[in-house]
Amino acid sequence: MLRGALLFLWELPQNILGLLVLGLERGAGTVKEIRIEHDRMVIQSTRNAVSLGYFVFWSEGVNRYFILDDLTREHEIGHSFQSRLLGPLYLPLVGVPSVLHVLYAMAYREVTGRRWTGYFDTYPESWADRLGGVAERRAERKAKQQAK
């Protein structure tokens, strides 16, 4: 209990954001399923894939900018390990570069007309893949894609 409370405080900035996103998701009716795993609330959403401290959102699907496949869930759980490690530094060291890469991916799509395939090769995404145990599967998929 005390450990849980201390951990919640250690990750407070991302926990506050996570709680906010959960409220928005609840309001919009986009939560599909909630499970507790790794002492985390793992939330399947119809629209978000973002890891915010205790609250780990994942979704599958294709949008204009990204293909969120079945590795997304473990990838986001990988981010939650970064959050536990970095505490208050998670948002500046992981959140900010991730958001910048998302913006880059959006700009890339609009300028070139193609999806950017380098997203998961960047820091901190490749690290999250490793922590989530999906780095090898992602690399295999990418190699197959490029062989086509």
Residues lying near Zn ion in the complex (CB under 5 A)? 125, 128
CA distances (Å), 17 to each of 6, 55, 66, 97, 103, in order? 17, 9, 22, 17, 19
CB of 2 to Zn ion, least distance (A): 30
Q: Which is nearer to Zn ion, 128 or 134 (CB)?
A: 128
Task: Find the shortest distance in angstroms from Cβ 6 to Zn ion.
Answer: 26
- Given the complex with Zn ion, which of 22 and 79 has the nearer CB atom? 79
Chain residue at closest Cβ approach to Zn ion:
125
What is the nearest approach in angstroms of Zn ion to the Cβ of residue 72?
9
Smaller CB separation from Zn ion, 4 or 92: 92
CB nearer to Zn ion: give 9 or 121: 121
